[in-house]
């Protein structure tokens, strides 16, 4: 296989930027060649790509996406979603199991793998979902993690019976990823809201009241106690409140094996945005107060949050335009993930080192993804070249997601991917998909 040299760029690592060239061969990083000057060193290569003025990052790893196939390909499919991923700097995703049918056993997992094969531009891993009775099948599988819904979200995979949940935590040998909202709190609040607005239009803003901070905290406390009791590794998805972080910190100090993630929408949006976005910012867990948004940024800075993951959950414009009771929860995020974060770097809210830590190294470490997350010799050549000076408005016509919209439309972000490599193959360049669907299932 030919050798490709990415020359004259700067490499982003958790220790900062370094002047170095990257030599790629056979899908791997063959050498990282430090430069003492802009001239670099003479290196033999079949193709030389000049990255002068650009930054080369490890491809981002998004451990929380909903690509919608099988069962809802009118919203998204593997071709469109994986295109959005590589356009947004993401070279590896882990896809959730709340499909139709749900991915809960060897047969449904095998069928999903057959559906994806040869159609993904990015690398991928798959979750199994806990359905209340399949822990033995989960333990026998080769997936990187299992998803446990403490309540229903999109789909009906919520498991609320205490005996089933306790047995699951007692027996499960996999990393447990939790959607932590309490079913009873949500149902009680929903009944109150429906009574209050009987006969009147229900505003989208009630979503944050139906699924309040209390619902998240009650579920997080319960999950953390189970993690501590049974010694299980637990990763809490999309934390959104300061109180959740305090609970997680408390249990970490007791010895619980806990990690957690935050989604971009819980960093970028607040309850104040309901007036503009309405149901287009409806997500589970919901958007929170400005104070909680600040707490999420602080949690990143102080090491209380381990990684950033999109929870990419597309729905069509028609579906999101329905009234509150019928509009689904979820927003698309993949097209804009890296631009959103690089814009924060430009505004000095994040550093390049933190982007690499939260989106590359920590996801690979927590989920045990071999060969991913670093620009080092022997690692997979999953790379994204970014132009930190490029400013661009988020427009529908430039998005790859099939749902065709973004909560950040009309925002101008500074810092965009200009090339994305998956397994050493160039798949995205200057706003276009240019390569083949070369994505492979991850090894754990």
Give the strand pairing for 425-429 and 307-308. Answer: unpaired
Number of residues that this document lists for the chain: 444
φ, ψ at 415 (rounded to 5°): 110, 105
Dist. CA 238–CA 150, nearest whole Å: 13
Name the residue among 292, 225, 230 with its Cα closest to residue 263.
292
Of 271, 293, 263, give the one whose Cα is nearest residue 207. Answer: 271
- Which residue in 64, 124, 22 sits closest to 443, CA to CA? 124
| β-strands 123-126, 175-179 pairing | unpaired
Give the C-alpha separation, 82 to 350, whole Å. Answer: 26
CB-CB contact of 87 with 422 (8 Å): no
Residue tagged active-site, from 95, 182, 311, 382:
311
Tokens encoding 288: 């929170």
Q: Are strands 60-65 and 90-95 parallel, antiparallel or unpaired?
A: parallel
User: Rounded distance, CA 111 to CA 92, Å?
Assistant: 20
Task: Sheet containing 60-65: give its strands across.
Answer: 60-65, 90-95, 123-126
Task: Compute the distance between CA of residue 22 and CA of residue 412 in angstroms, rounded to an integer.
Answer: 31
Beta-carbon contacts of 89 under 8 Å, excluding residues fewer than 6 positions away, are 57, 59, 60, 337, 338, 339, 384, 386, 417, 420
Cβ count near 63 (within 10 Å)? 30
Closest CA to 243 of 206, 270, 272, 216: 216
Residue 258 near residue 309 (C-beta atoms within 8 A):
no
**DSSP secondary structure of 169-193:** HHH--SEEEEE---HHHHHHHHHHH
Is residue 311 among the annotated active site residues? Answer: yes
Cα–Cα distance, 179 to 151 (Å, whole number) = 8
Which residues pair with residue 179 across a beta bridge? 149
Ranges assigned E (strand) in 66-136: 90-95, 123-126, 128-129
In whole angstroms, give the CA distance from residue 209 to residue 224. Answer: 24
Q: Which residues are catalytic?
A: 311
């Amino acid at each position: 296989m030919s050798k490709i040299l990415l020359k004259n760029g700067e490499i982003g690592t958790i220790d900062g930027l370094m002047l170095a060239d990257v030599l790629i061969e056979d899908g791997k990083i063959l050498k990282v060649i430090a430069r003492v000057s802009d001239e670099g060193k003479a290196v033999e290569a079949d193709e030389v790509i000049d990255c002068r003025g650009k930054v080369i990052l490890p491809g981002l790893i998004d451990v929380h996406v909903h690509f919608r196939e099988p069962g809802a390909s009118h919203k998204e499919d593997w071709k469109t979603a994986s295109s959005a991923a590589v356009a947004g700097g993401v070279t590896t995703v882990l896809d959730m199991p709340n499909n139709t049918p749900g991915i809960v056993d060897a047969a449904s997992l095998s069928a999903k793998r057959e559906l994806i094969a040869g159609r993904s531009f990015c690398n991928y891993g798959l979750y199994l979902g806990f359905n209340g009775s399949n822990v033995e099948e989960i333990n026998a599988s080769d997936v990187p993690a299992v998803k446990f819904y403490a309540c229903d979200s999109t789909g009906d995979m919520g498991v609320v019976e205490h005996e089933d949940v306790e047995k699951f935590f007692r027996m499960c040998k996999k990393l447990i990823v939790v959607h932590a909202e309490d079913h009873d709190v949500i149902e009680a609040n929903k009944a109150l809201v429906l009574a209050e607005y009987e006969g009147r239009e229900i505003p989208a803003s009630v979503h944050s009241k139906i699924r309040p901070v209390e619902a998240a905290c009650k579920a997080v406390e319960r999950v953390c106690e189970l993690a501590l009791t049974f010694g299980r590794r637990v990763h809490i998805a999309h934390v959104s409140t300061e109180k959740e972080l305090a609970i997680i910190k408390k249990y970490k100090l007791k010895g619980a094996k806990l990690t957690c993630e935050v989604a971009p929408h819980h960093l970028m949006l607040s309850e104040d945005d309901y007036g503009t976005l309405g149901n287009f910012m409806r997500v589970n867990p919901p958007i929170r107060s400005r104070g909680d948004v600040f707490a999420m940024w602080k949690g990143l800075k102080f090491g209380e949050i381990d990684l950033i993951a999109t929870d990419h959950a597309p729905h069509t414009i028609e579906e999101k335009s329905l009234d509150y009771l019928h509009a689904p929860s979820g927003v698309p995020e993949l097209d804009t993930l890296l631009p959103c974060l690089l814009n924060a770097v430009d505004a000095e809210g994040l550093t390049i080192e933190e982007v690499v830590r939260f989106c590359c190294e920590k996801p690979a470490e927590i989920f045990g993804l071999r060969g991913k997350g670093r620009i080092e010799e022997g690692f997979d050549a999953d790379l994204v070249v970014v132009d930190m000076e490029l400013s661009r408005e988020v427009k529908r016509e430039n998005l790859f997601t099939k749902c065709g919209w973004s909560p950040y439309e009309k925002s101008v972000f500074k810092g965009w991917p200009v090339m994305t490599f998956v397994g050493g193959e160039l798949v995205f360049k200057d706003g276009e998909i240019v390569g083949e669907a070369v994505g492979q299932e991850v090894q754990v």
